[in-house]
């Protein structure tokens, strides 16, 4: 089973509308001829419309960074799938570790968000990963099992291949510390095996990405691993040149 590589940039809370438009103007000439790799930018809500408009017709997809599970309601400060759909975005990150650690995102909420995104026609990118303490205590698999099983519990089996799962060890995010190829492959292989627990055919199709200090220098080695289908890139996605250099490294 061949899975199309997927490279996504997570801008986090960076870029005004003007900065986002300048970025896209710089990026498109660098990745315009990319074929056979899916590309996405995960953009702050306020810049989504501008990035959807400026990437229209290109190979770059646009993702939000979070979404509420309800269609509408008394949820001050939240954004629904219907609101994202109106902007024509392709998908959304869900459960990024910064949302989990800083803003109280729970596995129980993700159990509602992942199927809600799918039902609305948005592609969910579910983030999972262990902290440094959990890894040192030998609890990586327990943590991943809990996160993946909870979040996918209510996803119809035939929709599992439409979920992308980003394995992001928290200790590697924004720290410059990268998981070794052995650690990354082992964890991503384990995530795929967890999907196989729901459906074996879906596990062959689902894309598992690695995230955590991915740079142009380490991207190709990580993406060559059998269970790693792409990368979720934070810091190195903030400049068009370094994001494009990661895409180039994977292409070659
Ligand atoms: C991220 O934000 O998901 C991430 C992996 O960040 P960084 O690449 O900066 O470690």
- Where are the domains positioned within the chain? 6-251
Instruction: Convert the pLDDT of each residue in 39-52 to its tens digit.
Output: 999 999 999 999 99
- Report the residue among 95, 98, 173 best suited for mutation to probe ligand 1: largest number of ligand atoms under 8 A from its CB: 173
User: Could you say which residues of the chain have pLDDT below 50?
Assistant: none
SS3 (DSSP) at 172: helix
| Residue 182 CB partners (closer than 8 Å, separation 6+) | none
- Say which residues have a Cβ less than 8 Å from residue 114's Cβ, sequence separation at least 6: 94, 124, 126, 151, 152, 154, 155, 163
Using CA positions, which residue lies closest to atom 7 of ligand 1? 234
Q: Report pLDDT for 1.
A: 60
- Concerning whether 136 is annotated as a catalytic residue, the answer is no
What angle do the packed helices 17-31 and 45-55 form, to 10 degrees?
40
Residues with a CB atom less than 6 Å from ligand 1: 10, 12, 168, 173-174, 211-214, 232-236
Dist. CA 174 → ligand 1 center (Å): 5
Catalytic residue chosen out of the listed positions 96, 98, 134, 150: 96
Establish whether 133 is a catalytic residue: no
Q: Whose CA is nearest to atom 3 of ligand 1?
A: 234
- Cα 33-24-20 angle, rounded to 5 deg: 160
Sign of the CA dihedral with 169 first, then 225, 237, and 114 last: negative
The yes/no answer on whether domain 6-251 falls in CATH 3.20.20.70 is yes
C-beta neighbour count of 250 within 10 angstroms:
21
């Amino acid at each position: 089973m061949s899975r199309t590589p997927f490279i996504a940039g997570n801008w986090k809370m960076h870029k005004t509308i003007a900065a986002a438009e300048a970025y896209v103007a710089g990026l498109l000439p660098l990745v315009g001829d990319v074929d056979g790799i899916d590309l996405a930018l995960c953009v702050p809500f306020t810049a989504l419309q501008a990035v959807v408009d400026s990437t229209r017709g290109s190979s770059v997809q646009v993702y939000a960074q979070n979404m509420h599970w309800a269609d509408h309601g008394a949820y001050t400060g939240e954004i629904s799938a219907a609101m994202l759909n109106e902007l024509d975005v392709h998908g959304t990150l869900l459960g990024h570790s910064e949302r989990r650690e800083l803003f109280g995102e729970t596995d129980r909420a993700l159990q509602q968000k992942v199927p809600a995104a799918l039902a609305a026609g948005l592609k969910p990118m579910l983030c999972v990963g262990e902290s440094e303490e959990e890894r040192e205590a030998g609890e990586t698999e327990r943590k991943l099992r809990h996160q993946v099983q909870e979040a996918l519990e209510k996803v119809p089996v035939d929709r599992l291949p439409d979920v992308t799962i980003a394995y992001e060890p928290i200790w590697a995010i924004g720290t410059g510390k990268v998981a070794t190829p052995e650690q990354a492959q082992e964890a991503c292989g384990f995530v795929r095996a967890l999907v196989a627990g729901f459906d074996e055919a879906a596990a062959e199709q689902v894309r598992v990405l690695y995230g955590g200090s991915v740079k142009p220098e380490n991207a190709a080695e990580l993406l060559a691993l059998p269970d790693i289908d792409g990368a979720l890139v934070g810091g190195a996605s903030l400049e068009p040149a370094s994001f494009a250099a990661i895409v180039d490294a994977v292409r070659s």
